[in-house]
């Protein structure tokens, strides 16, 4: 049982390059999320989606774009990578009910040089 799968697991970029992180879930969850985790700061929400074709901004959306063309996939894009975007990125998904936990992928470690 795969759960939430993130691709790739590691990536090194140069400043100004672009890339897309892919998140796929097989639990038929309505909601999906992208977080970043920086040392000493816990997880911060970048963008989230409450259903196919919908996206919304989280706490730290600047410099990122997202798309949810299919219910099971949630893509996070960096159009012009900056060193400040060096972080570990987590995707999560959940059912819509508020008492349901978010299920996380294993994370993507991204370094911007």
**By CB under 8 A, what part of segment 18-77 binds another protein?**
31, 33, 35, 40-45, 48, 50, 58
Other Cβ atoms closer than 10 A to 88: 15
Q: What does the alpha-carbon distance between residue 21 and residue 99 come to, in Å, rounded to a whole number?
A: 28
> At closest approach, how far in Å is the CB of 21 from another protein?
15
State the number of CA atoms in the 13 A half-sphere of 15 facing the CB. 4
- By CB under 8 A, tell whether 101 contacts another protein: yes
CA–CA distance, 80 with 91 (Å, rounded to integer) = 20
Q: Tell me the number of residues near another protein by CB under 8 A.
A: 26
Q: Residue numbers of the site for another protein (CB under 8 A)?
A: 31, 33, 35, 40-45, 48, 50, 58, 88, 90, 92, 96-99, 101-107
């Amino acid at each position: 049982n795969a759960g939430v799968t993130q691709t790739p697991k590691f990536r090194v970029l140069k400043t100004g390059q672009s890339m897309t992180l892919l998140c796929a879930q097989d639990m038929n969850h309505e909601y999906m999320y992208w977080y970043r985790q920086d040392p000493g700061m816990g997880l911060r929400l970048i963008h989230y989606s409450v259903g196919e074709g919908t996206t919304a901004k989280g706490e730290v959306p600047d410099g990122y774009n997202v798309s949810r063309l299919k219910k099971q996939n949630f893509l996070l894009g960096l159009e012009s990578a900056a060193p400040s975007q060096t972080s570990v990125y987590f995707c999560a998904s959940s059912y819509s009910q508020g008492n349901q936990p978010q299920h996380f992928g294993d994370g993507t470690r991204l370094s911007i040089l």
